[in-house]
Amino acid sequence: MKVLVADDDIIVRKLLNKLLSSWGYQVVLAADGDEAWKVLNDSDPPQIAVLDWVMSGKTGIEICAECQKAGLSVYRILLTAKEKDEEMMYALDQGAHDFKSKPIKPEILKSRLAVGKRLVEAIQDTMRAERLAAVGSLVAGVAHHFNNLNLPVLMYASSILKKTDLDTKTRKKVEKIEKAAIEAGDLTEKLMSIASNKHQKKELADLNHLTNDAIEINSITFDKDEISVRTDLKSIPKVLIDINDIRHVVVNLLGNACHALIASPEKKIIIKTGMENNQLYLQVTDTGCGIAANKLQKIFSPFYSEKGEFAEPESPFYKVKGVGIGLYASKNIATDHGGDITVKSQVGHGSTFTLWLPVA
């Protein structure tokens, strides 16, 4: 994390630079208040500022007040020779987040900086989540309108193809239109699933029944890719779910498993259901390419995909398409149901994704 140290005393600057760098911070130095203000208004400003109160140019207090006025979110620690309570209260009132009298013990400064870092990270996390939610509903809204425009294209292309008197050239062209419209429809459906479904229609459902439905939906791919599917579905109580949403999750997991098996000598998928620790589970295991440990968290991020254009030419995922929404949307659906999706994987041996749902 980037930290600005502004102090007109070169010895203090050097000392703080050495200490903060040794604690892993990226230090930016300013020799007076005007220079500090310039740094804080850069395109990539520091997230924490350690400011002297009295400096040439703007004072530390003036910088705090101006940051507050301009809405700059930098975490401001005032480090000063002043030590009266009234001075501390004045500094905090003016916009400082923390106040410490000099001389400061290095370990205390280290702890104060750690507090600042935690706060900055928490704010960044919240902002990221809010931005994602906003982007999500925007994308889903656009996708919805696009889908409405795409439907007549698909309908008319399909109805033209039903004609028997089409010449070969025209038929080929219309087939291309139909194929593109089908792909556009798949894509928009995925994009629409990003927005959280606030209108879930929950009902008591049989997870085993739903699993068999999802297998049926993927059966053409299983046959085409010669994938053997084994099920081990235990007798479990009904669960309160939005059937369409949860079926969507299982179809996604099965689709990913099929892609993972593309280059595997052993093409097996095992689907299990059962109950553990008062939770129902549905587990999809494949004997596919597996996922590296450092990617196990990333795969649930929106738009994270290693397929198609995101894949290296030698990757088994090179020839399949991916948007990177399947797992993100599936995890959201699972958490909206009070459940979760967990994953275990070993590169070269396969993966197991488990959907957990609370017992109704």
Binding site for Mg ion (CB under 5 A): 256, 326
CA distances from 156 to 10, 147, 149, 282 (A): 76, 14, 12, 40
Contacts of residue 214, defined as CB under 8 A and 6 or more positions apart, other chains included, come to 247, 250, 251, 254
190 binds, among ligand ATP, Mg ion, none (CB under 5 to 8 A by kind): ligand ATP
Name the residue nearer to ligand ATP (CB basis): 144 or 209: 144
Determine if 52 is a binding residue for ligand ATP (CB under 6 A). no
Name the residue nearer to ligand ATP (CB basis): 50 or 325: 325
Q: How far is the CB of 307 from ligand ATP (least distance, A)?
A: 4
Among 48, 49, 109, 257, binds ligand ATP (CB under 6 A): 257
99 binds, among Mg ion, ligand ATP, none (CB under 5 to 8 A by kind): none
Q: How far is CA 75 from the centre of its chain?
A: 25
Interface stretch with ligand ATP, choices 121-129, 202-210, 223-231, 318-326 (CB under 6 A): 318-326
323 binds, among ligand ATP, Mg ion, none (CB under 5 to 8 A by kind): ligand ATP
Q: How far is the CB of 255 from ligand ATP (least distance, A)?
A: 7
Q: Name the CA dihedral angle for 60, 61, 63, 68, rounded to a multiple of 10 degrees.
A: 140
Name the residue nearer to ligand ATP (CB basis): 103 or 313: 313
Q: Residue 215, CB half-sphere, CA atoms under 13 Å: how many?
A: 20
Token pair for 279: 């939770």
Query: Where would I find the H helices in 95-167?
Result: 106-161
324 binds, among ligand ATP, Mg ion, none (CB under 5 to 8 A by kind): ligand ATP
Contacts of residue 155, defined as CB under 8 A and 6 or more positions apart, other chains included, come to none
CB 336 within 8 A of CB 358: no
Beta bridge partners of 272: 232, 283
User: Which spans of this chain sit near ligand ATP (rule: CB under 6 A)?
Assistant: 190, 252, 256-257, 260, 286, 288-289, 291, 299, 304-307, 322-328, 351
